[in-house]
Amino acid sequence: MTAKQSYVVAAEAWQALESSIIYYRGRPIGTLAACDYSSPSLNYDQCFVRDFVPAALIFLIRGRTEIVQNFLLETLRLQIKEKQLDFLEPGRGLMPASFKVLHQGDEEFLKADFGDHAIGRVTPVDSCLWWMFVLRAYVSATGESSFAHSPEMQKGIRLIIELCLSARFDMYPTLLVPDGACMIDRRMGINGHPLEIQALFHTTLRCAKELLLDNQENIKIIQAINNRIPPLTSHIRHNYWLDPEKLNVIYRYGSEEYGEDALNQFNIYSESIPYAELSEWFPEEGGYLAGNLGPSHLDCRFFALGNMMAILSSLVMRQQGQIIMHTIEQKWTDLIGWMPMKICFPALKNRDWEILTGCDPKNRPWSYHNGGNWPVLLCFFVAAAVKMDRSDLARQAIAIAAKRLHKDEWAEYYDGKNGRLVGKEARKFQNWTISSFLLAQELIDQPKYIDWISHD
Ligand code: GLC
């Protein structure tokens, strides 16, 4: 693509993004998930908290801070503030998956979906975690610490941290969540302790630590955050890490070990690990974070967003981050293919697909969440690659996306093992596809923006 062509594409993308802005009582507060009027809208006519993240960042970069501020304030108003003892309301601290503006006479109000309307009634655990991420980016971009220091914002932050750190059943440093609690918002065998939520949880703790005022009211919460970050970090770095060497250790694991000295603490049965496929697949010096870990359960699938967020928040060590990038480079066809990048690899097939997705036809092998390619992941890949000094990989990925996204009218996702087909039910003019593409270009041109979304 020539410089002029890419300028035209970027200008069109920006215009499409602008035309998707949602107004509430005259103020811009977010963007529609998609502006595809040829497909049934389902809930794509709503503003999703997670979908707005790349848009928020691009708006911040371009000085359009008002929309991000309004988004943060309005979603904070929707957050559940009262403690619940019955099941009729979502838990305190939770934020909705999405919301839309409804009209009643001359009045406008916001209707939020906490998963109570969503397909499969999935819980949006990630929303409040993404909210904190956007708040921290907003403060970094504008320098307005006072915005985050207002009593309402401080309370919102505390409620999120309380929700994450409060009473629970298990003793892991990670968060226990139901299936479909994040970007993959349908049944995909990611209940328990999925990587994406753990990486976002870690980011949230680090952002909250920066944003909370050091005062009497916050003292206990700050202490709790400080107590949680080290065990969470070391648990993920050690127990989620997979590389050829670790694979060999797992392969030779004993089982049924009791007590503190157990090597195989989670009682993983090596027969449950696809070690034959993995030992062939792993490049030399390769490695990445596994998708999930629980009792006798190690999900060895590669999940892109969790791995990229772990690099950005420094949940992994720098060397591990570099190894992840090296793995992507060596396994480019599998993990990037014709559209950056694969949401998870490999796809669930046959009996696994039947059992873990409940025979979901949208999530059949190499489609949608089950091994589809999602252009929204481009910006996270680019940010992580640049942070790991692999701008070369970031540029290659952007070039691949640039060739197709505009032509394919900003498709939501791609299908096929190599991600070559526009997704069977993919929406067009999907806004996080558009904003991710714009953001990826800004991040490669001006890496200083990565500081807004990354931690050392
Ligand atoms: C799909 C995606 C989800 C996204 C939503 C709106 O449900 O799985 O992550 O937020 O569409 O784009």
Confidence category of residue 238, pLDDT binned at 50, 70, 90:
very high
* % of the chain exceeding 70 in pLDDT: 100
The span from the CA of 338 to the CA of 71, in Å, is: 34
The span from the CA of 205 to the CA of 233, in Å, is: 11
CB-ligand 1 contact for 374 (6 Å cutoff): no
| Whole-number pLDDT of residue 430 | 97
DSSP state, residue 237 = I
C-alpha distances in Å from residue 264, one per residue of 231, 272, 282: 18, 14, 22
CB 318 within 8 A of CB 310: no
**Residue 375 structure tokens:** 């252009």
Query: How big is the CA angle at 362 (ends 358 and 366), to the nearest 5 degrees?
Result: 100
The span from the CA of 170 to the CA of 294, in Å, is: 10
- Ligand 1 pocket mutation, candidates 20, 46, 50, 182, criterion most atoms within 8 A of CB: 50
C-alpha 182: how far from chain center = 7
C-alpha distances in Å from residue 311, one per residue of 114, 146, 444: 29, 29, 16
CB 177 within 8 A of CB 191: yes
99-113 average pLDDT score: 95
**Residue 441 structure tokens:** 């270009």
Closest among 47, 19, 15 to 31, alpha carbons compared: 47
229-237 average pLDDT score: 98
Alpha carbon distance, N-terminus to C-terminus of the chain: 35
| Whole-number pLDDT of residue 180 | 96
| Whole-number pLDDT of residue 193 | 98
Closest atom, ligand 1, to C-alpha of 431: 12
Q: What is the whole-number distance in angstroms between the Cα of residue 130 and the centre of ligand 1? A: 14
Q: What is the whole-number distance in angstroms between the Cα of residue 17 and the centre of ligand 1? A: 17
CB 335 within 8 A of CB 302: yes
CB-ligand 1 contact for 183 (6 Å cutoff): yes
C-alpha distances in Å from residue 25, one per residue of 19, 103, 149: 17, 10, 25
* pLDDT tens-digit map of 267-285: 999 999 999 999 999 999 9
Q: What is the whole-number distance in angstroms between the Cα of residue 305 and the centre of ligand 1? A: 14
CB-ligand 1 contact for 186 (6 Å cutoff): no
- Residue type at position 181: A
Q: What is the whole-number distance in angstroms between the Cα of residue 117 and the centre of ligand 1? A: 14
Closest atom, ligand 1, to C-alpha of 34: 12
Q: What is the whole-number distance in angstroms between the Cα of residue 411 and the centre of ligand 1? A: 13
| Whole-number pLDDT of residue 40 | 76
Q: If you take atom 12 of ligand 1, which residue's CA is the nearest one?
A: 33
CB-ligand 1 contact for 188 (6 Å cutoff): no
CB-ligand 1 contact for 33 (6 Å cutoff): yes
**Residue 327 structure tokens:** 């793995």
pTM: 0.97
Q: If you take atom 2 of ligand 1, which residue's CA is the nearest one?
A: 183
The span from the CA of 65 to the CA of 309, in Å, is: 23
DSSP state, residue 447 = G
**Residue 440 structure tokens:** 């990826």
The span from the CA of 277 to the CA of 228, in Å, is: 35
CB-ligand 1 contact for 36 (6 Å cutoff): no
| Whole-number pLDDT of residue 116 | 86
DSSP state, residue 426 = P
The span from the CA of 179 to the CA of 372, in Å, is: 18
CB 30 within 8 A of CB 80: no
The span from the CA of 95 to the CA of 129, in Å, is: 9
Q: If you take atom 9 of ligand 1, which residue's CA is the nearest one?
A: 183
CB 289 within 8 A of CB 236: yes
Give strand pairing partners of 299.
Answer: 292
The span from the CA of 98 to the CA of 53, in Å, is: 12
Closest atom, ligand 1, to C-alpha of 33: 12
Closest atom, ligand 1, to C-alpha of 184: 8
- Ligand 1 pocket mutation, candidates 53, 129, 130, 185, criterion most atoms within 8 A of CB: 185
Closest atom, ligand 1, to C-alpha of 186: 8
Q: What is the whole-number distance in angstroms between the Cα of residue 260 and the centre of ligand 1? A: 42
Q: What is the whole-number distance in angstroms between the Cα of residue 325 and the centre of ligand 1? A: 26
* pLDDT tens-digit map of 332-385: 999 999 999 999 999 999 999 999 999 999 999 999 999 999 999 999 999 999
Closest atom, ligand 1, to C-alpha of 97: 10
CB-ligand 1 contact for 126 (6 Å cutoff): no
Give Cβ neighbours of residue 349 (< 8 Å, ≥ 6 apart). 365
Q: What is the whole-number distance in angstroms between the Cα of residue 330 and the centre of ligand 1? A: 29
Closest atom, ligand 1, to C-alpha of 430: 12
Give Cβ neighbours of residue 285 (< 8 Å, ≥ 6 apart). 323, 326
DSSP state, residue 117 = S
* pLDDT tens-digit map of 187-224: 999 999 999 999 999 999 999 999 999 999 999 999 99
- Select the more confidently predicted residue: 168 or 352: 352
- Ligand 1 pocket mutation, candidates 42, 51, 305, 413, criterion most atoms within 8 A of CB: 51
Closest atom, ligand 1, to C-alpha of 369: 8
